[in-house]
Amino acid sequence: MTNPEVSIIIISYNTRDLTLDCIRSVFEQTRAVSFELIVLDNASNDGSAAAIADEFPDIHLIASQDNVGFANGNNLAIEQAMGDFVLLLNPDTVVLDHAIERIVEFAKSNPDAGVWGGRTLFGDRSLNPTSCWHRMTVWSLFCYVTGLSGIFPSSALFNTEGYGGWPRNTEREVDIVTGCFLLIKRDLWNDLGGFDRRFFMYGEDADLCLRAKNKGARPIMTPTATIVHYGGQSEKVVADKMIRLLTAKVTLMQQHWSPVAKIFGYILFYSLPLSKILTHWLYSTLLRRKDRKTNADTWKEIWSRRKIWLAGFES
């Protein structure tokens, strides 16, 4: 039996209906490229594994008894993959207009890139700019802490991480392709050792792409391969989500910044919750905005748990 061109990997966690819609869209929109679909369910408690097995008995389903996280879940699933390419696809996505066929075709015409991404939209079909990122720097972190990136989201100067001002309508080399829709050569994945298992959730795709660039890869995105990415469907608690995100960012800093840059990075990360608390408190006091008070309380909780995220993920 001939191996498939691409192994599509989906890691699900309490997203049953979204995962089923995602799988349906894969089969509906992928006809011109051979593929296998591997779904690892991270011990969901919403009946995801049973529902997937019932509707799609022929796909490769791994029903984990424990939540092993996004990074390790992908590592485990890809150990069983047979394709020349590996496509990471979030469960809260919908494949549009033959996007998987298009991104594989794009990869074949740009083989030296090593990592390929596409364009993502929100559910209302407006642009979701989070399909790719510039690497985090001292400057980009400063802009985030001071709020400049939020005030000027379309600025290439103040929103460098988000590639401010670029509407994702052209091909472009990028630092980071987001793991919601990331295509990589299987050989490169193996050479990199997959995701760093320290990244339980968030940051693993950034670390992978930065390590790939160090080996000569040039991640690139194309607007011709487009999916819907709803985002944030598996983790609802805002404080917990932000703590995971900050822990990932601190770990990325520890892994990829110079010793001098790390000094400024720790100062900025330490200042971040205090800056957010003050900003939201001023808004709630001066404008009597209850939602801002809630945000201030959330950042107070994040500040109280700073020893967790300032340490980064455990080695």
Query: What domains sit in the chain, N to C, each tagged with a CATH number?
Result: 6-134+174-229 (3.90.550.10), 238-309 (no CATH)
Tell me what pLDDT residue 285 has. 81
Give the integer Cα–Cα distance in Å for 189 and 209.
10
Taken in order 212, 217, 220, 225, the sign of the CA dihedral is: negative
Supply the pTM of this predicted model: 0.94
Contact 195, 72 (CB under 8 A): yes
* DSSP H or E run through 170: none
Give average pLDDT by consecutive 10-residue segment, the chain, 315 residues: 92 96 98 97 96 97 95 97 97 97 98 98 96 98 96 97 97 98 97 94 96 98 97 69 95 98 98 94 79 89 96 84
Helix axes 204-214, 238-256, angle to 10 degrees: 20
Residue 106: CA count within 13 A, CB half-sphere:
27
Secondary structure E strands in 136-219: 172-173, 176-177, 181-185
Tell me what pLDDT residue 98 has. 98
Tell me what pLDDT residue 1 has. 60
Q: Which tens digit of pLDDT belongs to each residue from 30-81?
A: 999 999 999 999 999 999 999 999 999 999 999 999 999 999 999 999 999 9
3-state secondary structure of 28: helix
Give the integer Cα–Cα distance in Å for 29 and 19.
15
Say if strands 220-229 and 172-173 run parallel, antiparallel, or are unpaired.
antiparallel
Tell me what pLDDT residue 262 has. 98
Say if strands 6-12 and 85-89 run parallel, antiparallel, or are unpaired.
parallel
Tell me what pLDDT residue 293 has. 86
